[in-house]
């Protein structure tokens, strides 16, 4: 497979990932699941998760697909920006490591949502008291993964943006927009890392810039010559 074909496959992966992410978000909106977090903070939230296990599970599967397709997008962007030399390689490394961590995090969420609510619903009160702290610990671990993944993803996007601006291989407007996307991703990482709940909704909305970047990247790569 030549470079042009790899770039175009990357573009197709980007658009498929965007589609999966949008479907997941739509499932969350239709069922009123709130933001991207899984409710694990207290017994009321755990009961809510138990009642809405099916929609949460569907949503998390689509979010996992989004992350998986992003692997192909990152490779496509690397081949697109290879004229930038080592800069493109570092962009691929940061982006790919971030995405792999994100895949692990999303897979852990799928497993958690698939198993934990049933265990909690069938447990007696004493067991539920023990499961509560466990759920919060798992939530914290997943949050750390999410923070690291989004930080590296933002760095990777920023490096790809610099590579595009240096080489002019595609529209420099696309490259410039990459900095806004990178800032949104890093902001999400910071808010998650420091548990800044009051900013959570804002950065989740801002993360839409990353989705726009993915869609734009898909179109750019599919049209690449």
The pLDDT tens digits for 158-213 are 999 999 999 999 999 999 999 999 999 999 999 988 878 788 888 888 999 999 99
Distances (CA, A) of 182 to 31, 194, 197, 207: 30, 19, 21, 9
CA torsion, ordered 9, 78, 181, 25, to nearest 10 deg: 30
Total length of the chain? 225
Tell me how far apart the alpha carbons of residues 46 and 113 are, in angstroms, rounded to a whole number: 11
* pLDDT at position 173: 94
User: How large a percentage of the chain has pLDDT more than 90?
Assistant: 67
pLDDT value of residue 38:
83
Plot region of 2 (φ>0 → left; ψ -120 to 50 → alpha; else → beta): beta
Tens digits of per-residue pLDDT, 81-107?
Answer: 999 999 999 999 999 999 999 999 999
**At residue 49, does pLDDT exceed 90?**
no
The Cα 127–Cα 20 span in angstroms is: 36
Residue 79 has pLDDT above 80, yes or no: yes
pLDDT of amino acid 103: 96
Cα distance between residue 225 and residue 222, in whole Å: 9
pLDDT in tens, 102-152: 999 999 999 999 988 888 888 888 888 888 888 888 888 888 999 999 999
Separation between Cα atoms, residue 171 and residue 144, nearest integer Å: 35
The span from the CA of 71 to the CA of 82, in Å, is 17
pTM of the model as a whole: 0.93
């Amino acid at each position: 497979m030549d470079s042009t074909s790899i770039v175009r496959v990357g573009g197709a992966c980007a658009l498929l990932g965007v589609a999966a992410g949008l479907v997941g978000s739509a499932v969350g909106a239709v069922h009123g699941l709130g933001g991207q977090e899984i409710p694990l903070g207290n017994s009321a939230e755990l009961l809510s998760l138990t009642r809405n296990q099916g929609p949460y599970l569907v949503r998390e599967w689509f979010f996992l697909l989004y992350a998986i397709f992003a692997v192909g997008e990152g490779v496509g962007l690397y081949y697109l920006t290879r004229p930038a030399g080592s800069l493109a390689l570092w962009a691929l490394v940061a982006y790919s490591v971030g995405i792999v961590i994100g895949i692990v995090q999303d897979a852990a969420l799928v497993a958690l949502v698939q198993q934990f609510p049933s265990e909690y619903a069938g447990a007696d009160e004493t067991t539920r008291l023990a499961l509560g702290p466990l759920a919060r610990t798992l939530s914290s671990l997943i949050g750390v993964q999410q923070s690291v993944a989004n930080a590296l993803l933002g760095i990777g996007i920023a490096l790809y943006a610099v590579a595009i601006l240096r080489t002019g291989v595609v529209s420099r407007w696309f490259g410039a927009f990459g900095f806004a996307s990178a800032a949104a991703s890093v902001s999400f990482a910071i808010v998650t890392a420091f548990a800044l709940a009051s900013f959570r909704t804002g950065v989740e909305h801002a993360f839409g810039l990353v989705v726009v970047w993915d869609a734009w990247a898909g179109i750019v790569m599919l049209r690449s010559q």
